[in-house]
Structure 1
Amino acid sequence: MSSLEPRLPDVYGPGTHTDRGFVPVQQDTERIFRLIASQTPGFTQDESLLSKVKFVGEEFPVIPGPIKAVPVAAALHAMAGVIADEILTLRGAENKERQITVNTTHAAFWFGCIATAFVDGEDVVSTVKSGKLKKLLPHWEQGWVDTALKYRATGLYPTSDPKVWYSLHGSMDATPVLKSIGVDPSEPIASNEDAAAHIARHTSNLTPEKLEFNNLLNGFCGSICFSPKQWNESEMGKSLAAHPFVNVKAQPQAIPTPPVAFAPLDPSDKRPLAGIKVVEMTRVIAGPQIGTMLASFGAEVIRINPPHLPDINIMQLTLNAGKRTIAIDLRKPEEAKILHSLLAEADVFIQGFRMNKMPKYGLGLNDILKLAGERGRGIVYVSENCYGPDGYYAERPGWQQIADAASGAAFVTGRSLKLPNNEAVLPSLPISDMTTGVLGAVGTLLALRDRATKGGSYAVHSSLTAVNTFALKPEVGLYPPEVVAKCADRFQWAEMRGSHHVLDLLVTVWDGWKRVLGGHLEEKSGWFQSFENSAFDGKRLSILKPVATLSDAKSSPHWTTPSVPYAYEKAEGIAFK
């Protein structure tokens, strides 16, 4: 038992578990890596492989708050590296001396990778502030935040119960959400602060139960900001807890298929997943991050966007790295046929939509398993959602902010900031989104390894709420208040409040990083991968490198092509290479 155990209960509210002292980030990450590895069915327990991992970086936390988001994500990146090493061995490239290095500070920056990029030598945050980025990017947002009220429709707000806050979410179409709580979306409110205050006046007159039922009735996203204890004791919390964190399940009900051996590595591409074909049908951050990571490991990824659904413009710069992109409207049979032709060849299908919608288009798990059985080659079916693979919330829509509220992460973050009136605050970056991405990638790598050695097809599930609940477990622990305060003093973070949009909070953290760790965020720091000619007006594009690195550079994760806009290629005639 370490000197940190037993952990202090309820420091940040019911169901929280706080370390008694401080352990340097690298040492703590190593412990959490071993913890997740030991709890993951099918993950190697071979010490000769586990000991290949090395964690480096800042010894002290570099993001706000008490949640050990960086160690958890860095541990998952390391796991991806270990499985990649196993796959390289299967492909005839065994190297007992190969090392897997994860820089935990890099893992922290990776949470904000959509803001840590450069176009033609200028950082993206500056490009956004100057208005120049709008001219570079195809416009996919359909006005989702074109007024202050729409922007602030996504935030955490007080209710008529002084102890309970609620996560309201505009879900990229804020008008009906605002109307449902009595706010006129056309009211001319100029500032974000005034818009938040206006929305808060309306939510303060509604009980948490009324807000919850309003969202359920209308199919909107939303969640009460539960404490960790409340979530863990709920029926949905119990459903989620029944699954392993890295959730990979063989599908014995499918038509049996033999092992699909990896081809020997081609000298032209020595990355572990070279030759693996992936179809990705996702939106925004978590799902696209799965595909981006697999692309860095060498997979050929074709991403599909529904042309009628909005997506966030800035994500095009980073979350399409290494991919080809097309648009397909599944409501049109001739376009759906294109998707099915790609799936006939695919090794992996990633989907980020509600699971019960998929069978309508012949894309449910059992549909794809049938396809795999008939062709005689197994497939990996990857689903990403908010609440988990089953239970009565599984089909409920949700985004990062909803998972942060439901799991207790926002409750804990608010408590750590010592704000009045029990105010909840989102963790300061797209943490659950990005970590859900690496969690899905780890599961996919594991499933591909097993398909090569055991045969069959596999289902992988990655959920936003699972990421948060794992980070709040007693075995992981939270940073003590004095550590949180020391981090805040070092970086001088600006004010963080419940009504702040996750993009506001991201810029707040980025500003602190620039002040203290600015050298790492320079384009020529060595932390970025640059492409001289991008699809964005031909300008040089530099994006943050993959987090895990392998000591043999040609096999180490990297992208061979830069990000491209959504729907960059015509869907007609597209095929895997």
Structure 2
Amino acid sequence: MTPELALKHIWTLAGCDPSALRSVTLTGADPGLPSVYRVGTLASASIAATGLAAAEYHRLRTGRRQHVTVAMRRALASFRSERYLRINDGPPPALRDPVMGFYETRDGRWIQLHTNFPHHLQGVLNVLGCANGRDAVAAAIRGWDGATLDQTLADAGLCAALIRTPDEWAALDQAKAIAGLPLFEIERIGDAPTESPGQRGADRPLAGVRVLDLSRIIAGPVAGRALAQHGAQVLMINGPHLPNIAPLVIDNGRGKRSALVDLREAQGREVLRGLAGAADVFLQAYRPGALAARGFGPEELARMRPGIVYVSVSAYGHEGPWAQRRGFDSLVQSASGIAFTERQAAGWNEPKHLPCQALDHATGYLAAFGAMAALARRATEGGSWHVRVSLAQTGRWLQSFGQIPEGWKAPEVALDDVRDCLASVESEFGRVLGVQPAEVLDETPAFFALPPSRVGAHEARWE
């Protein structure tokens, strides 16, 4: 699989104009990072699709087509943006709780725990009946069989994954459900009149587009960030009780404003209904059905705001027995055979993840791409739309690219190797050094108009 073929797949699946593909140049080849998987192809294609969709939406407004260029090394820097983030020239930010990681079980299997949120960590410690610390957790896990612990933690609503081979994963009902789905879906869910793509004189592709971003951590926030870097007005909505990871708030908050709304209260739900009524895109990354229970499912939004583009990001997809299972990028890698394959290729003693959160980032860019493709459809044929993406569907697609046998031997890419991909901005956190957008549009450059801000820094209203 080449980046060009992967981009063509995305573009064709969305029903976009094939002639636009002549306006894209992709450079670089895998392996760009130490991995047997074609992570660079995934990065280049998903980011190029986002850039090209922005260019095409701008063309709808102006009649002018522009060229899009993506260099693989820049795309891979974007896929590692949280790793290269620096505040006031300080050390790399801490992104993981010490207990998070791989553990060997009684029956010789491996399991991965994800404990970055305090309530997830405490829940795991409660199930295991042990103290907080890697040694105590490792000793407790050696008293469990892998599959039993995996299911017990899932039943408790906690975050873990048994390390499976690709064949073990393929045999599961969840993998079969994913195999029956396309990479992403863009579905018409209601009738609405066409809506103009916005101000003809606007100098940015998404100027005038309003995006509500109800997501945290990486995949959903990357989608909102990608829309912001092409000019959308993005308002992040957090619950005051929900945990966040500070460096990710900074990295993925660039270009956005941030407000607090408590959906547990009637007043908060009323505020969100008001915001949604004037939004163009409603982006959410809660578990399937969670927002619908609060009255904010896709069908409700389409009735509330005809013409809405509703974007759903999930871990394991919206179908199958794991649809409600909590998950993160690294857990999907562990469950689906990616961590097993990387370990086997490199000859490691324990499982090995991809060299970046590739499923998160690619899914985020695909979500942003789907949103823009749906906005273009709204402009030409009307309707309300539902875009669905998942980490597991993205992971399955990456696995379908085939492998690079010695790819894991590729050199590591340090901060100094990507200095030309970074830029600094002053913010309330200090001087933030971050990765800049990888896609180059020759008429409307992608950039962040706003520095990152703390959670809840702004009022819950449109500018």
Please state which band the TM-score falls in when normalised by the shorter chain.
Answer: over 0.9
Deviation at 1:330, TM superposition (A): 1.0
Structure 1 residue 349 corresponds to structure 2 residue 282: yes
Q: Identify the match of residue 569 of structure 1 among 442, 458, 461.
A: 458
Structure 2 CA distance for partners of 1:530 and 1:209, relative to 1, 3 Å: closer
| Local SS of the residue matching 1:343 | helix
Q: Identify the match of residue 42 of structure 1 among 9, 12, 15.
A: 15
Q: Identify the match of residue 105 of structure 2 among 159, 179, 187.
A: 159
Task: Tell me how far apart the structure 1 counterparts of residues 4 and 395 of structure 2 sit (CA, whole Å).
Answer: 19
Task: Tell me how far apart the structure 2 counterparts of residues 363 and 60 of structure 1 sit (CA, whole Å).
Answer: 41
Please, which runs of 5 or more residues in structure 1 have no aligned partner?
A: 1-26, 130-143, 146-150, 186-194, 492-511
Structure 1 residue 30 corresponds to structure 2 residue 1: no
Task: Tell me how far apart the structure 2 counterparts of residues 171 and 544 of structure 1 sit (CA, whole Å).
Answer: 23
One-letter identity of the residue aligned with 2:79: F
Contact 1:290 1:440 in 2 (8 A): yes
Task: Tell me how far apart the structure 2 counterparts of residues 231 and 213 of structure 1 sit (CA, whole Å).
Answer: 15
Task: Tell me how far apart the structure 2 counterparts of residues 197 and 394 of structure 1 sit (CA, whole Å).
Answer: 32
| Local SS of the residue matching 1:167 | strand
| 1:108 alignment partner in structure 2 | 76
Q: Identify the match of residue 185 of structure 2 among 247, 264, 284.
A: 247
| Local SS of the residue matching 1:102 | strand
Identical positions, percent: 27
| Local SS of the residue matching 1:357 | coil
Task: Tell me how far apart the structure 2 counterparts of residues 447 and 229 of structure 1 sit (CA, whole Å).
Answer: 35
Structure 1 residue 513 corresponds to structure 2 residue 411: no
Structure 2 CA distance for partners of 1:519 and 1:398, relative to 1, 3 Å: closer
| 2:114 alignment partner in structure 1 | 169
| 1:557 alignment partner in structure 2 | 446
| 2:346 alignment partner in structure 1 | 417
| 2:302 alignment partner in structure 1 | 369
| 1:545 alignment partner in structure 2 | 436
Which whole-Å deviations, capped at 9, do the CAs of 1:8-61 have from their partners, x for residues lacking one? Answer: xxxxxxxxxxxxxxxxxxx932233234434x1413322xx212111224x452
Deviation at 1:452, TM superposition (A): 0.9
Structure 2 CA distance for partners of 1:332 and 1:562, relative to 1, 3 Å: same
Contact 2:213 2:237 in 1 (8 A): yes
Contact 1:153 1:178 in 2 (8 A): no
| Local SS of the residue matching 1:114 | helix
Pairs within 5 Å for 1:115-134: 115-120=83-88, 122=89, 125=92, 128=93
Task: Tell me how far apart the structure 2 counterparts of residues 337 and 529 of structure 1 sit (CA, whole Å).
Answer: 39
| Local SS of the residue matching 1:564 | coil
Structure 2 CA distance for partners of 1:72 and 1:60, relative to 1, 3 Å: closer
| 1:82 alignment partner in structure 2 | 52
| 1:231 alignment partner in structure 2 | 169
Contact 1:292 1:319 in 2 (8 A): yes
Structure 2 CA distance for partners of 1:37 and 1:90, relative to 1, 3 Å: closer
Task: Tell me how far apart the structure 2 counterparts of residues 542 and 63 of structure 1 sit (CA, whole Å).
Answer: 21
Give the count of matched residue pairs. Answer: 461
Which whole-Å deviations, capped at 9, do the CAs of 1:149-189 have from their partners, x for residues lacking one? Answer: xx343212222232x3212222512022122123223xxxx
Deviation at 1:116, TM superposition (A): 2.1
Please, which runs of 5 or more residues in structure 2 have no aligned partner?
A: none
Deviation at 1:541, TM superposition (A): 3.1
| 2:360 alignment partner in structure 1 | 433
Pairs within 5 Å for 1:146-295: 151-162=97-108, 164-170=109-115, 172=117, 173=119, 174-185=121-132, 195-251=133-189, 254=190, 256-266=191-201, 269-295=202-228
| Local SS of the residue matching 2:111 | strand
Deviation at 1:546, TM superposition (A): 0.9
Structure 1 residue 460 corresponds to structure 2 residue 387: yes
| Local SS of the residue matching 1:91 | helix
One-letter identity of the residue aligned with 2:124: V
* Segment of structure 1 superposing worse, 99-108 or 221-230: 221-230
Contact 1:246 1:442 in 2 (8 A): no
| Local SS of the residue matching 1:51 | helix
| Local SS of the residue matching 2:371 | helix
One-letter identity of the residue aligned with 2:164: F
Which whole-Å deviations, capped at 9, do the CAs of 1:197-241 have from their partners, x for residues lacking one? Answer: 442332222112211221133111222222222222321112112
Contact 1:68 1:471 in 2 (8 A): yes
Task: Tell me how far apart the structure 2 counterparts of residues 439 and 179 of structure 1 sit (CA, whole Å).
Answer: 37
Task: Tell me how far apart the structure 2 counterparts of residues 182 and 123 of structure 1 sit (CA, whole Å).
Answer: 37
Task: Tell me how far apart the structure 1 counterparts of residues 14 and 222 of structure 2 sit (CA, whole Å).
Answer: 23
Contact 1:281 1:352 in 2 (8 A): yes
Which whole-Å deviations, capped at 9, do the CAs of 1:231-268 have from their partners, x for residues lacking one? Answer: 223211121122211321122xx3x21111212333xx
Task: Tell me how far apart the structure 2 counterparts of residues 88 and 336 of structure 1 sit (CA, whole Å).
Answer: 33
Deviation at 1:115, TM superposition (A): 3.1
One-letter identity of the residue aligned with 2:194: P
Contact 1:290 1:437 in 2 (8 A): yes
Task: Tell me how far apart the structure 1 counterparts of residues 398 and 3 of structure 2 sit (CA, whole Å).
Answer: 12
| 1:300 alignment partner in structure 2 | 233
Q: TM-score, normalised by structure 1?
A: 0.76
